[in-house]
A and B are shown apart, each in its own frame.
Chain A
């Protein structure tokens, strides 16, 4: 496959996945902002800025952190690279470049997503409904994934799309977990803690999984175990790395030695990981190290497969 084509496929699914995860993250924030506790929820509202490292950019544009501004910044703001609008614009541009490689149904799902998003932007987030919008984004992502699974030939086209999905998902899950964790550390409020972890599980669609696997009250350590070490949860770090390690060796040709090695090392760290060990290191330090490794892997995939050298 052409390196440029592979790159467009990879970034198409990365941006679509990022849009979906952004919607998931915002859904939590939006719901928390509606639940008025005795305490200030300002930290919750600012959380997405911390997760994505866009605090400075936001500050220079909007100044004060308000729920309305944060929501706009991450949804329909065309000038914010972190917005769902920008992600889907990029996804659509990548899809356009490889429309001959993907099936008509996949292209149509990306293209109609983009056309509908432009209409929604005209309408405005409040008029469309915040929750309805987050659901719409998730549904569009499900639709694209469904079209991909249901119609695309299992070739390198499929594999590079999947590669992008799991690199992005591993990164996003780690970030969202890290930020929630840090908030939990800052102030101890049992009720608020419960809602925080509850909301986090809901945001990644893992609430039911938690209930099924653990009979105890929702708490930080168990949520972390679920989202880091459990292979049953499709958004866990372990699941993402398992997929990456399955995908990389199945790509045609002998390129990508270093990518395969890095992925395998990280998979082993998770497969043989232990929650007690993670608690000893400290969850934040553990996740910081994980993010560094995932980004090193992403850079290596970029240089070994996708760049025109």
Chain B
């Protein structure tokens, strides 16, 4: 049987089995791909680029001229996950987010997990993301993280791991939806042939989740954006439009007599739920950073009185911090009395002297991350780093060990993408989006991010990473 010829790759490839030939759930797509001439993929890629430009699906890059808009590279080969495997990921992600919500409620109330000695108190109270102002604030349904992104990877053996949790303002879901629309536009015949689970109802589920975050029915929901120069502005506008809610900036809102209002052409209108895409620090200049121009003065006091809902809640950052990450499996056991369905990546906490010693010894082979870092900034990928970079990190680790964790360099799984030279494997990860309202739900699929450079493990869009459509395939069982 004919098979796609790919440049040699070590580790786990999503499409091609070790002996050559497509994995069972990829057979149909793989055979279709073999029948296409290279010109078709070239043309389709051009068409996709033109269309994304025309529609303006762009993101802004920090550190470049303000207003600089770029396309996130989009790859036309889908990443396919069989339904049986998705079932595991879905259950695992829901379990994890449920435990994290229970954890957040606990640490802002009775703190049983600390009393029980599972997590050292200083790891919570010394964490810059911990918000003392949230102590004893009661939230509807006890949900803190209404929208969560769980970043998943596979190692060389094909085993799944959770790389990190995103409980603050996880982004990328608009690309999940737009990528699907693009694929259906480019390759309608593929969708006629196979049963790909739909993702386009995500905005409906999101709106339900936001409405359920208030204790009363028919709340007025708005989306709070930092404005059009924010890197994710496209997504904010997209989601607000899809949900049919107002896209507001801080200056559109004001606080009066214990409630939040927005300024409208017909006068002030009360706001009940704010889906905020602004970090805690910038929400309210009276409570947090006084130099913030993005927030709403007095918002926090209204929030603490229970007269407005913020999604996600204030203070969720302590749950997705890399210094808390190693404790998540224990949280699952502690709160749910279940074994974790998804594994953590083994992690050394550099604040522990023994861990630090081992990390320093093995530095060139490890990945080192700042505990509060995000977006691929401020990390060391040992095997890809120069001697000088490794030594720089050694100094940083010694100066401030508490600020770092380290993990083995996992060879992320690869998936073929279309590049200038043809089709070649590139490393990928997966971010499903978990919604917590009256129940916890996940849309089947997520955002597959791709490291566009050969061998690179950095998939972040701020670092040049791209995306692919993600197909959860009914009937495409792994055998």
Contacts and interface: CB of A to CB of B under 8 A. Distances in A.
B120 interface: no
B266 A252 contact: yes
Interface string B448-464: 00000000000000000
Interface stretch (B127-135, B234-242, B310-318, B411-419): B234-242
Interface in B224-253: 228, 236-238, 240-241, 246-249, 251-252
A112 B54 contact: yes
Contacts of A100: 236-238, 240-241, 247
30 contacts: A2-B248, A2-B252, A2-B263, A2-B265, A3-B263, A3-B264, A4-B249, A4-B252, A4-B263, A96-B56, A97-B228, A100-B237, A100-B240, A101-B247, A107-B55, A108-B54, A108-B55, A108-B56, A111-B54, A111-B55, A112-B54, A156-B265, A160-B265, A251-B265, A251-B266, A252-B265, A252-B266, A253-B265, A253-B266, A255-B265
Interface of B: 53-56, 228, 236-238, 240-241, 246-249, 251-252, 262-267
Given A1-B264, A111-B56, A251-B265, A101 B252 contact: no
Nearest to B67: A93
Interface string A156-197: 100010000000000000000000000000000000000000
A308 B247 CA distance: 15
B68 to A, nearest CB: 13
B56 A305 contact: no
A201 interface: no
Main SS class of interface, A: helix
A262 B274 CA distance: 38
Contacts, number: 68
A interface, size bucket:
20 to 34
B251 A115 contact: no
A6 interface: yes
B266 A4 contact: no
Nearest to B223: A100
Contact of A99 (B56, B248, B265): B56
Nearest to A8: B228
Interface string A9-45: 0000000000000000000000000000000000000
B132 to A, nearest CB: 33
Contacts of A60: none
A96 B53 CA distance: 13
Interface in A81-125: 96-97, 99-101, 104, 107-108, 111-112, 115
Given A2-B263, A96-B56, 7 more contacts: A3-B265, A4-B252, A100-B240, A111-B56, A115-B54, A253-B267, A305-B265
A254 interface: yes
Contacts of A254: 266-267
A-B CB proximity, top 7 nearest:
A253-B266, A100-B241, A100-B237, A100-B240, A3-B263, A305-B265, A6-B265
B265 A1 contact: yes
Contact of B241 (A6, A101, A252, A305): A101
A306 B237 CA distance: 20
Residue of B238, B263, B265 most packed against chain A (CB within 10 A)? B265
Contact of B237 (A99, A108, A252, A305): A99
A144 to B, nearest CB: 14
Nearest to A111: B56
B178 to A, nearest CB: 11
B248 to A, nearest CB: 6
A2 B266 contact: no
Given A97-B228, A308-B252, A255 B267 contact: yes
